A and B are shown apart, each in its own frame.
Chain A
Amino acid sequence: AQRVTQPEKLLSVFKGAPVELKCNYSYSGSPELFWYVQYSRQRLQLLLRHISRESIKGFTADLNKGETSFHLKKPFAQEEDSAMYYCALWAGSYQLTFGKGTKLSVIP
């Protein structure tokens, strides 16, 4: 069965520092991967999809099939990036498999 692991429950960084939120997955096929974000008191929303290879709000994520990882990165953290981040995988079934989430706190 597929699994998504986000090893950090909480990540604290200073404003302007680089950010890397880790995501590892286990799946033998070719997955579709996503990052979702939930800002305080807002709904969970899609941040980016690996298939679109886009940069959203300065965040990027590269799928590394060799390391089975899809880490989320941003070169310079902003206070407004403070949120809960979830990595998710689609393995061809009806539903996505989510990690347990990482809470990012950007210290001013």
Chain B
Amino acid sequence: DVKVTQSSRYLVKRTGEKVFLECVQDMDHENMFWYRQDPGLGLRLIYFSYDVKMKEKGDIPEGYSVSREKKERFSLILESASTNQTSMYLCASSWQGQIYGYTFGSGTRLTVV
């Protein structure tokens, strides 16, 4: 019954590494999103995509990039990981209109050492 799948549950990377977080959805949703979740700060939008090859910056895009080559897949890239990017990363997808809200993945806990 899993509909939004994030490739890794836990990741540990070194400072300066290039990190790829992958997200796949099987619901044919147009929209896909990447958030980071930190205690006390809630969910902060990093990037989103409303169509293949389309991307829009969210509230905190610095240090991140994204790729959406296929409708079902949305990748988050940390170009040069830093310790302040240690966080829980959540992927979500939705229909074009938000009547039904988002479906979230189970999250990737990234630790940068």
Which residues in A have some Cβ–Cβ distance to B below 8 Å?
9, 32, 34, 36, 42-46, 49, 51, 86, 88, 90, 94-96, 98-101
Contact across chains for B106 and A86 when beta carbons are under 8 A apart: no
Pick the residue among B48, B100, B106, B107 that contacts A94 (CB under 8 A): B48
Contact across chains for A95 and B107 when beta carbons are under 8 A apart: no
Given A36-B102, A90-B98, A90-B101, 16 extra CB contacts under 8 A: A32-B99, A42-B106, A43-B106, A43-B107, A44-B90, A44-B104, A46-B103, A49-B100, A86-B42, A94-B50, A95-B33, A95-B48, A95-B98, A96-B98, A96-B102, A98-B43
Pick the residue among B42, B48, B56, B99 that contacts A100 (CB under 8 A): B42
Contact across chains for B102 and A9 when beta carbons are under 8 A apart: no
